[in-house]
């Protein structure tokens, strides 16, 4: 059955494509004032995201989880205001 090796290879490629996006190195590339879209180009789509809007203000909290740790970013009007990296071993 040739389908199993093909599926296994595709699963490996998919897993490797997402590897390393949530890393200390990519976290360091994110600067205050960057747009949400710029962050998504670096980290990919967030694992979780919650937003709120009041009049002309909007706020979003987005989280990216990976093998190396978790990145949480607070956006105000689609711009980075606060960022945090917590390594998989719990170090900030």
Would residue 67 count as lying in a domain? yes
**pLDDT at residue number 90:** 86
What CATH number is attached to the domain comprising 28? 3.30.1450.10
| Residues β-bridged to residue 85 | 71
The DSSP letter of residue 91 is -
Would residue 2 count as lying in a domain? no
Would residue 63 count as lying in a domain? yes
Would residue 4 count as lying in a domain? no
**pLDDT at residue number 83:** 98
**pLDDT at residue number 13:** 44
Would residue 12 count as lying in a domain? no
Query: Residue 56's domain spans which residues?
Result: 21-87
**pLDDT at residue number 16:** 45
pLDDT in tens, 31-42: 999 999 999 999
**pLDDT at residue number 17:** 46
| Mean pLDDT of the residues in the chain | 87
Would residue 50 count as lying in a domain? yes
Structural domain total, the chain: 1
């Amino acid at each position: 059955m040739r389908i199993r090796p093909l599926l296994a290879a595709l699963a490996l490629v998919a897993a490797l494509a997402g590897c390393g996006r949530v890393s200390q190195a990519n976290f360091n590339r994110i600067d205050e004032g960057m747009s949400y879209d710029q962050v998504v180009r670096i980290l990919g789509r967030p694992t979780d995201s919650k937003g709120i809007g009041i009049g002309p203000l909007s706020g979003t909290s987005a989280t990216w989880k990976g093998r190396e740790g978790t990145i949480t970013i607070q956006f105000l009007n689609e711009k980075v205001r606060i960022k945090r990296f917590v390594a998989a071993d719990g170090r900030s």
